[in-house]
A and B are shown apart, each in its own frame.
Chain A
């Protein structure tokens, strides 16, 4: 006897995409469908659930091959618009990381620093089609005698440019407060003293990994929406930690899984890769990411139907605890509470501040849905799913 009442394969769903019969809904829409029709009926009717998230995602960057010059150079150090890129890859290859800062940035010398330009901004400028100034230096070899080059590069003329993000799409994230007496400026935004506000950063019920908490459909080869183009999940991300505490429905209560993603930068857009400046902290890149979840059976649709009321995170003090490596929770809150605008904390109502854009997340899920319905986007069947 089969384990599930509904059993679909990637191949069958892709056939439906080709024939135009596929049924696609977003991770928000599936909630009510499962509530009304039950998981078996929903799994029968719906083939794919689309998810989306848009937020600053450090651990993003791009591999850039900038082509050979005459005389040739074996670049030892590379700068793009004065932002250093890692050049120890090959003669004319480099990696520009999202959090790398412009070389003459005043940093936090006048606190809190503004951090107006960094690696994330270089990536956004490139995808926006702007010219970027490249400088490379070297020591000179027989085969690569040149010691310094400067040139304007643009995405169109680069031999290759690949977005390669070692950690994106965090499955859940902390809710940050500040229990000290001074305002602090963190990667979780501005935190007023004495828990004046609580900041959080997850798309909740739309977030990719929260809709497939045990990674039953996501792994190497999963085709995704990445930065406005098409990308792939290539590995589990760095800091991937599936072993955390979870609710009965499998939703992690603390930051858990992560994704390593890649895609052709040339096909991406500056709307979905946005360089960001985080006051007092540094630069990063806001990445638009969306994953289609194939509804292979009723269990998977049950997971995808998770709602903000069923997703919880921990309140963490970024004033004292976090910088001292103290792992302590000051309470558990649901994303429904966080999104309401206020949470109850130590008997008081404190305002909540999102850092992850629901407006953009929704647009990603809708775009992915449209691509699939138009037959432009086929599911990628993973070679193996993420570590769990």
Chain B
């Protein structure tokens, strides 16, 4: 099972077509719409989580692109710039999942990305700004 959050931009000309439902019908994918809006210039924006097999996912995205839909990856991950981290520990006050924790007795701040829920609270709580939210696999969609 492969799953990603995508941002879709529908040009004005495509906005009235039922494009997304074909992802289910023809590509055996499921989706969960997280946000959808039509902008003043009639351009549509939709944020959805798309899930299915990796092959179907790729083909579904290809289909969207062939319909003139601009597809962007919204999935993000948190990364730490180890050169900037001073191991002060301030981030551990806000991290809700324990992804950022202190290794004792060294008092080293360790970051376990597997535990990270990408809530981004650490990004602005980190005094030297060592934590960054970055798109996961940009290249895949470009």
Instruction: Name A residues whose Cβ lies closer than 8 Å to a Cβ of B.
Output: 54-56, 112, 114, 116, 189-192, 197, 199, 274-279, 284, 286, 339-341, 351, 353-360
Contact = CB atoms under 8 A, between A and B. Distances in A.
A355 B125 contact: no
Given A197-B93, A275-B128, A277-B128, 15 more contacts: A54-B86, A116-B129, A189-B93, A192-B93, A274-B128, A277-B129, A284-B127, A354-B88, A354-B102, A354-B107, A357-B107, A358-B107, A359-B87, A359-B106, A359-B109
A286 B90 CA distance: 13
B32 to A, nearest CB: 30
A189 B86 contact: no
A190 B128 contact: no
Contacts of B108: 359
B52 interface: no
Contacts of B109: 359
Contacts, number: 72
Nearest to A276: B127
Contacts of A356: 88
B11 to A, nearest CB: 33
Nearest to B121: A190
B67 interface: no
A313 to B, nearest CB: 16
Contacts of A354: 88-90, 102, 107
8 contacts: A274-B128, A286-B127, A339-B104, A354-B102, A357-B87, A358-B107, A359-B86, A359-B107
Nearest to B91: A353
A284 B90 CA distance: 14
A191 B89 CA distance: 13
B136 interface: no
B8 to A, nearest CB: 29
Q: Chain B interface residue count: which class?
A: 20 to 34
A189 B128 contact: no
Nearest to B127: A276
Contacts of A358: 87, 106-107
Interface string B99-111: 0001011111100
Given A341-B102, A359-B107, A360-B87, A279 B125 contact: yes
Which 5 residue pairs spanning A and B have beta carbons closest together?
A276-B127, A358-B107, A354-B89, A359-B87, A353-B93
Nearest to A340: B104
A286 B84 CA distance: 12
A190 B93 contact: yes
Nearest to A281: B127
A190 B93 CA distance: 6
Contact of B86 (A116, A199, A286): A286
Give the most central of B104, B107, B108, B127: most A CB within 10 Å.
Answer: B127
Interface in B57-116: 86-90, 92-94, 102, 104-109
B85 to A, nearest CB: 9
Contact of B89 (A56, A278, A353): A353
Contacts of B92: 351, 353
Interface centre among A112, A277, A355, A357 (most CB of B within 10 A): A357
B137 interface: no
A356 B107 CA distance: 10
B109 to A, nearest CB: 8
Contacts of B89: 353-355, 357
A190 B86 contact: no
B93 A341 contact: no
Please indicate which of the listed interface residues B90, B106, B129 has the most CB atoms of chain A within 10 Å of its own CB: B90
B94 A190 contact: yes
Contacts of A274: 86, 128
A276 B89 CA distance: 13
